[in-house]
Structure 1
């Protein structure tokens, strides 16, 4: 199935796994019904390289949470058991205080309001607040999730974030060949970037945002001009 297939709400989505033994995961825009898998929004039907994860890309403006998606958020409130995190959706996400690597009742993180965190959504339901975690619950390790110290958070389109998670997107590898940098990509339209110098961080953020509609050759020219 071509990733350029266009679907409309109510259309049957021809979703199949490359390997019949794989479990197919449905992302934003797709819904499992008795009649099969249907589209609930207009856009392009897309899938990952292994063919076991499918979603619909479109020109959405507001982020709609989906289970399993990585997000970059800012803590806006805290209680004894939860942090409340702004992830740019209609409702803020709940982050349990123990949902961090190595967190226990005696050894729990003490994060202030305004702290930026990178996590994964574990619950996303239209009838309740989404819930997230800042570690890999399968391994018990952080695996890149957790508090994001220093750096800069920039807002961008949801489509650009999806593109950046594709290993074939050139801009991140081009920037990485010129300088060390850390990047956390949230599918909620937020990207966190950190380099050793604030000047380079700003350069990297501008390059990433401007690369959205560029070809590989144009991305190469952009990065070359930044570091001449």
Structure 2
């Protein structure tokens, strides 16, 4: 199957999508969609935009909104903007700041809290994301282990990219990140909210990554892939 994106049609909030192509595995849904509990093979549109599909099983709504809409289970990158008792306020690019408890870190207790400061960048998971409530984050998995989650080092660099590029970068079959790896070593954390944290040994390598991502936002996935495969 091809990994190219198919633009299906324009949908409005509340409309139902029943023509789900992915039969062999569980459907992966992105921004603008939610599952219909009463109809396992249907999706409900939550924000206006064009429905996009990537074979074999990924659907999302893309529109001109620049603000991220939180969804439970999303892995996001955010900036701590305020500390209030045991609660940290985190900017994840949504309409409301997200809450992150100081107890939502591996090994944290009332007496032993993580060393977190305003301005720190965290990689976290959305535990709750309801319409009329502030989003809630955690930096542990279901087994209370941090894994890749937690405070990112302050020697990295943070940029914002559009959600289309985020899904392209997270697609294991895309050659872009692999091509960069052949050029120089780096670390990267990609948030589903469009925030990307990067770290490299040289400032010029970070600049290269920024330019590559900026250029990628204005090109099709096919042209990006073709260019990468042409690199030695």
Residue 215 of structure 1 pairs with residue 224 of structure 2: yes
CA RMSD of aligned residues (A): 2.6
Match of 2:84 in 1: 79
Counterpart Cα distance in 2 of 1:164 and 1:26: 16
Say which of 51, 63, 75 aligns to 1:70.
75
Counterpart Cα distance in 2 of 1:4 and 1:73: 30
Q: 1:175 to 1:113 in 2, by over 3 A?
A: same
Counterpart Cα distance in 2 of 1:77 and 1:183: 25
Say which of 39, 47, 61 aligns to 2:45.
39
Q: 1:120 to 1:216 in 2, by over 3 A?
A: same
Q: Which runs of 5+ in 1 are unaligned?
A: none
Counterpart Cα distance in 1 of 2:76 and 2:69: 11
In the superposition, the TM-score normalised over structure 2's length comes to 0.82
Match of 2:171 in 1: 166
Higher strand share: 2
Counterpart Cα distance in 2 of 1:125 and 1:148: 26
Counterpart Cα distance in 2 of 1:190 and 1:3: 25
Residue 101 of structure 1 pairs with residue 106 of structure 2: yes
Residue 5 of structure 1 pairs with residue 5 of structure 2: no
Q: 2:161 touches 2:213 (CA, 8 Å); kept in 1?
A: no
Match of 1:30 in 2: 33
Offset from partner CA, 1:22-69 (integer Å, 9 cap, x none): 5x56442124456753223221233675x3x64323333211111111
Q: 1:25 touches 1:54 (CA, 8 Å); kept in 2?
A: yes
Secondary structure of residue in 2 paired with 1:126: coil
Secondary structure of residue in 2 paired with 1:66: coil
Q: How does 1:132-143 map to 2 (within 5 A)?
A: 132-137=137-142, 139-143=143-147
> How far is the alpha carbon of 1:17 from its aligned partner?
5.1
Offset from partner CA, 1:60-91 (integer Å, 9 cap, x none): 32111111111111000012211100111110
Q: 2:51 touches 2:59 (CA, 8 Å); kept in 1?
A: no
Match of 1:56 in 2: 61
> How far is the alpha carbon of 1:115 from its aligned partner?
0.4
* Number of positions where the alignment pairs a residue of Structure 1 with one of Structure 2: 218
Counterpart Cα distance in 2 of 1:59 and 1:219: 27
